[in-house]
Amino acid sequence: MQIKVDCPQCGGKIIFDEEIEVVRCPYCSSTNQISGKSGLPRFMFPPRWSFEESRHRFSTLLSSKKSLRLREKGLHLVYGPYWRTKGMVFHWALGKKHSISKIGTRSWDDAKELKTKHFDFTFPAYREPDLGLDTLGVRPAAIPLQLFHHSRLSGTELVLSPEVSLQEAVDHSNNFLTFGFSDRNLKVELEDTQLVGEVYSLVYFPFWVLEVGANGQNSLLIIDGVANVVRKSIWEQDFAAYFRETASSKWASNFGDLRLIPFTCPVCGWDLPFTPDSKTHICPTCTRAWAEHRGSYQEVDYHLVGLPDEFDKPIHYMPFWDLKTHIRTSQGVLKTKSDLRKLIPALPTGKGRGNGSDSIRFLIPAFRIKNLKSLSKLAHIFCLSPPSQKLRAKENLKKEIFQGVSLAGQEAEQLAQVVLISMVPKYHRRARNLLKDSEFESGRPRLVYYPFYRKGIYLREANSNHAIQFATVVLNSHS
Ligand SMILES: [Zn+2]
Ligand SMILES: [Zn+2]
C-alpha cells in the first residue's frame, strides 16, 4: 500500500510505501520521520472522477437507456469505512500426517508443519446500509491512499461512521488468519497461530449514489467510486430513507493522525542517517539510538557485539531482539535452560558456563527478511546456540553500517513462540501437551547488534558463523 502526504516544508506531494518509516521529499529534499503509524491511522481513496465529471457521465449513461425512462433525481458521494488488517501469519500445526508409501501401505506419522503468509485483509467497518462491496480486494495495494481528514472533504459528502469496534475487527480478522492452510491429511493435535507486526487502519472508500426516478418511484444505483461500476441497485427506495439510520460512533476519537516530524537527533541536532525502513536510528555523532513514539523520539538502549580478534572483513551490524523469557505451563513455570529441556531434550546449556541454570533467552532477528521461514530458521539457530556477546564500546560509529530495525520489540515475543515450537521435536508428545496452554512472560526486549559479513551467497555472523541467505535479507536502501 502506498500513502500520499504533503511535505511539511514545501507542500509537495510525497508518495511512499506503508512499510517506510522515514521519507525524503523529492521536491525540497528534506527528510522526515513518519509518526503515528501504529496509532490506528485513517486513510481515504479519492474518487476517480470529480462530482461534475461523474454527474456528466452518469446523465449520459441514463439518456442512452431511454427505454428505462429514468430521470436523475440527485447524485451523492458517500464514504464507507473499511477495516484493514495487515501483518505476517505464522501457523504451526503438530499432529499425525497420513501418507501412502510407494508399495501402497498407509500410515499416520508424527508431523510438524509451519505455514506462513503475508496477511492483508479488508472488510466493512459500517453495518448499515449494504453498499455491495464486502472487501477492498487488492485496491489498497494498487492505488496510493491519502490521509483521511475532514479538511479534504467538501462538506457535502456523507461519511458513514465506523460501527465495528477495534476489538471486533481484531476478532473478525483472527477468524481468517489460517484461511487456505487446512490440510486433509493432517490430524492436528496442537496448533499455534501468531499474527506478527499487525497494523490496523481504517480506509474510507467512495461510492457514488445516483438517485433516479421512474413512474413516481425513486431508486438508487450504488456505484464504486474508484472502479466506476454499479455495485448495487435498490428499487423503490430514496436516498434519505436508505441512509437514514447510520449510527454515530462512540470511539472515533481514538484514531491517530499520521504526521511528519524532523529527522534529526533530539540531543545533538544532527541529521540522522537516512535508513528509510528502520524503526530505530543511531546518531553517529553522539551514538544514541532513537525510536519514534507518539510524535517524538525516545531513546533506545542498544548493545554492539564485538568482532573476533584480527577480523578485517567489511561488516553489517544486524539488529536482534534479545528476550529473557519464562514459559508458564500447566506443570509449572520454565525459567532456565535446563527447565526448557522438558520441551527440547537436545538443548545445549552453553559451553563452559554450563550448569544449566542460564535463563531462557530468545534472539529474534529484527531486520527485514523476505522469506518468513528463513526468519524462523535464523531465530532458531541463534536461540539454540547464541553467539558470543562480548560487547564493544559505542565509539567511532561514523563508518559503521547499521541495518534497519523493522520488527518492533513488542512483536519479538510472538516470534519467540514460533521459534519455540520450531525447536520442539515432532515426535515429542509430552512437549505438545505441555505447550498446549502455555504462556510466555518476557522481560523488556533488549536491542543487540551482531556483526555479519558477506561470504558467497550467505551473510554470516562473525563470531559464530551462523548464516542466512543473502538474497532473503532486505538491506538498507541508502541514498
Ligand atoms: Zn518538500
Ligand atoms: Zn546525536
CA of 25, nearest ligand number: 1
In whole numbers, what is the pLDDT of the chain averaged over residues?
Answer: 88
- pLDDT computed for residue 262 by the predictor: 92
- Ligand 2 midpoint to CA 400 (Å): 15
Residue 422 domain-assigned?
A: yes
Report the pLDDT averaged over residues 27-33: 94
- pLDDT computed for residue 478 by the predictor: 56
- Ligand 2 midpoint to CA 90 (Å): 37
pLDDT over threshold 60, residue 97: yes
How far lies 13's CA from each of 42, 144, 258, 449, in Å? 18, 11, 15, 35
How far lies 143's CA from each of 4, 159, 223, 396, 476, in Å? 10, 20, 18, 43, 25
CA of 398, nearest ligand number: 2
Q: pLDDT tens, 354-369?
A: 455 688 999 999 999 9
pLDDT over threshold 60, residue 426: yes
Residue 376, C-alpha cell as written in the block: 524462523
Same domain, 247 and 322: no
pLDDT over threshold 90, residue 65: no
Same domain, 244 and 352: no
Same domain, 71 and 165: yes
- pLDDT computed for residue 167 by the predictor: 94
* Amino acid, res. 37: K
Same domain, 230 and 332: no
pLDDT over threshold 60, residue 130: yes
Taking the mean position of all CA atoms in its chain, how far away is CA 93?
Answer: 22
The owner of cell 522481560 is 443
- Ligand 2 midpoint to CA 288 (Å): 6
- Domain of 93 in residue numbering reads as 51-137+155-253
- pLDDT computed for residue 477 by the predictor: 64
Residue 269 domain-assigned?
A: no
Helix (H, G, I), strand (E, B) or coil at 361: strand
- Ligand 2 midpoint to CA 267 (Å): 5
Give the neighbor-by-neighbor strand order of the sheet with 296-300.
280-282, 289-293, 296-300
CA of 11, nearest ligand number: 1
Q: pLDDT tens, 440-465?
A: 999 999 999 999 999 999 999 999 99
Same domain, 220 and 367: no
Other C-beta atoms lying within 10 Å of the C-beta of residue 293: 12
CA of 32, nearest ligand number: 1
Same domain, 194 and 309: no
Residue ending a domain, choose from 253, 285, 317? 253
**Of 352 and 386, more confident:** 386
Residue 104 domain-assigned?
A: yes
Residue ending a domain, choose from 224, 253, 282? 253
User: What proportion of the chain, given as a percentage, has pLDDT over 70?
Assistant: 95
pLDDT over threshold 60, residue 169: yes
- Ligand 2 midpoint to CA 265 (Å): 5
Residue 299 domain-assigned?
A: no
Residue 376 domain-assigned?
A: yes
- pLDDT computed for residue 253 by the predictor: 53
Other C-beta atoms lying within 10 Å of the C-beta of residue 308: 11
Q: Is the dihedral of CA 328, 329, 334, 340 positive or negative?
A: negative
- Beta-bridged to residue 280, according to DSSP, are 291
Neighbour-count burial of 122, counting CB atoms closer than 10 A to its CB (0-12 exposed, 13-18 middle, 19+ buried)? buried
pLDDT over threshold 90, residue 216: no
- Give the number of domains in the chain: 2
- Ligand 1 midpoint to CA 259 (Å): 14
For the ranges 343-347, 392-396, 451-455, the lowest mean pLDDT is seen at: 343-347
Same domain, 229 and 335: no
Residue 462 domain-assigned?
A: yes
Other C-beta atoms lying within 10 Å of the C-beta of residue 325: 21
- Ligand 2 midpoint to CA 120 (Å): 37
- Ligand 2 midpoint to CA 266 (Å): 7
CA of 8, nearest ligand number: 1
CA of 267, nearest ligand number: 2
